[in-house]
Amino acid sequence: MNNLLYYEDKEIKENEIRALALLDAERFPQAEKFLLKNLAKKTSSLLTYNLLIKIYSRDIMENSSFSSLIRTLNSAIKNTGNAGFYRKLKKQALMFRLNSLIAS
């Protein structure tokens, strides 16, 4: 059992490292794919969630990015020890989106 956890943690870290390199090269869709693999494993790694939030926040006005952002925040609330922080971030994103819709 310990070996399985080590393998999954190692794979999550490797995916994060790949994603960081891709983000540095502004290859956002490719970075997202590696991070979504981590999300599928219900990772508790804050780096995975923070990088996905960074990707989705770039285009928050697009429906698909906003939906992905909210899904990511919901997963972070459920799977990490920082639920309070991610709840506040989710409220801010929802308020930003609502204000943007009202203004347009």
Q: Where are the domains of the chain?
A: 2-103
The whole-model pTM stands at 0.87
d(CA 28, CA 3): 32
Rama region for 26: left / alpha / beta (φ>0; ψ in -120 to 50; rest)? left
Q: Helix axis angle, 28-40 relative to 46-57, nearest 10°?
A: 140
Q: Which residues, at least 6 apart from 95, have a Cβ–Cβ distance to it below 8 Å? A: none
Segment 18-31, tens digit of pLDDT? 999 999 999 999 99
Tally Cβ neighbours within 10 Å of residue 64.
9
pLDDT at 100: 87
